[in-house]
Structure 1
Amino acid sequence: MEEQKSERPRGEHRGRSGGRPGGRPGGRSGGRHNGHYQRDRGERNPKIDALVKQIREELVDSIEPIVIPELNAFERKLVHRQFDSNSDIVTKTYRLGDDDYELRVYPVGNLKRFAQKKADEAIATRAKVVLPHMSNYERFVVHDYLKNVDNIKTTSVGEEDDRHIEIEPEVFGRGLKRIIKKIKLF
């Protein structure tokens, strides 16, 4: 007598609903709603689409961030997703209170171009250039961008809301200072 072998491929279990290779025992799928939620269906939200269009129009030539205070968590997430792939625009959510949040959209690309223009102006005129008042994040972006530019020095000056950046041309530049440190002459 020959033994009969099962027709099922190896690794497939027969449970109440069949099952699949590598799946959960008993053919169960992955939890409630099977990983699909009503909000994740790819449906377009007209309010968010209009808001994103407005933000893009306002940020074309601006270095000022846009502050959007009245969004719920899901709407903030949708706005973040719209700008995630664009390195010229950064979105950040700030907590103001227990249930109060605001979304800020920073035009980082415009800010970097503005800082480069002002650095070139400081080098050309050999005079200190004062930038307008900026938030902590904006100052971080400017300092980080200009740290690799030779012949200038950036410093933050002022207190709290009055804090701004000053760009000063250096007499010898960073390149000469690096060489001096390596040689250790002075």
Structure 2
Amino acid sequence: MPRKFSWLTFFIFLFSTSSICLLFIPYQETKHLDQGYPIEEHNYSQISFNAYHMIELPWRSFNQEIYFNVSVYNATISLQILVDPSDFVNFFMREPYGSHWEVNNITIFENTIQITPSIQGLILIVVTGNKSLGNSTSILLYSGITVYYLRYASSYGLVFLGVAVILISSYGYRRYRWR
């Protein structure tokens, strides 16, 4: 006589497998900081602007990349990446600070920056506009900044693992309570 299949066994298998997959298989995360829309400014003989992008990289993330596609016409810009929290404070207080990566006085820049070793915490990307070139009165800025990294779904995996442990203990209690 074949043994009757238990739904509890099915759910134990389902929650155990899903928790293991969520805890140990990474997935790609993409954050679009700047969508890449062109911004046009008129009637400026000089441009002076700062754009700040704060990124929070989670725990257990790796293969961190920042993709820049920035172009500006009739002006120059500078890009900086700040990693250390003390540098954030010094930057905003206008004191000397050290940047993790920077490029100055560019008009067109397209590059992917790999962050090694991986950073857990905050990263600040600063786009600074400089004086306009020549006597032009209109400035066109196109900026596309995207952050890619691999991460694990640890919180969801632990929830599924907790449900699996509760189901396993319920199964064990039902099966072995009279012995």
Higher alpha-carbon Rg? 1
Normalized per residue, the structure richer in strand is 2
RCO greater where, 1 or 2, for CA within 8 Å and sep 6 or more?
2
With the length of structure 2 as denominator, give the TM-score of the two structures: 0.28
Normalising by structure 1, we get a TM-score of: 0.27
